[in-house]
Amino acid sequence: MASFQQRKVVGDAHEQYVAEQLTLRGWEVNARGQGLLTRKLQDALRVTDSFIRWIPDLIAAKGMDLVLIDCKARMTSRNTGRHAVERAAVHAHLQLVAWTRLPVYYVFDDLGVLSPHDVLIAGQEGPHSVAGSGSPYFLISGSNARRFDGLFGSGESATQWGIAS
């Protein structure tokens, strides 16, 4: 089982990749989540049940559209193609959507995109995880995910105009 620090390295790389993909599509992106906090604050948040623990990783804007992104690295089963999202995260993000009136999206390694509502409605409750925090989670088929390009735009236009390398 990977340590928190090992999982964090993978998660940070996925966040950077998602931010780069959004930038290629004309979105302005800033980091927002726990990764910006000191180690002591991260440790304290990890043991609380406060919804603040689930602050999404990124905030992005394009024109007047503003979204919150929670990046989900290594949360897809290679065997079943199902994505996993902690139940506590889904419940916190549904509250965040209601409070901020901003959409929250989960972006997985394959750039599949789901909302907390998608996961709540179509997901099935999975058992307690044997990896990571050991928290209960929802399982949802990757076929339910929206395409990243369909939601955030294609990166082709940025490449075509010489914006991307």
What's the token pair of residue 74?
């290594």
165 is a domain residue? no
What's the token pair of residue 2?
């990977």
Q: What's the pLDDT at 77? A: 87
The mean pLDDT values, 10 residues at a time, for the chain of 165 residues are 66 91 96 80 84 91 96 89 93 96 96 97 80 78 95 70 40
Q: What's the pLDDT at 5? A: 65
Q: What's the pLDDT at 92? A: 95
Are 139 and 123 in contact by the 8 Å Cβ rule? The answer is yes
Here the CATH number for the domain that contains residue 26 is 3.40.1350.10
Q: How far is the C-alpha of 21 from the C-alpha of 43, rounded, in Å? A: 29
40 is a domain residue? yes
Q: What's the pLDDT at 159? A: 46
Q: What's the pLDDT at 24? A: 96
Q: What's the pLDDT at 133? A: 60
Q: How far is the C-alpha of 45 from the C-alpha of 165, rounded, in Å? A: 38
Q: What's the number of domains the chain is made of?
A: 1
Residue-range definition of the domain harbouring residue 25: 4-160
80 is a domain residue? yes
83 is a domain residue? yes
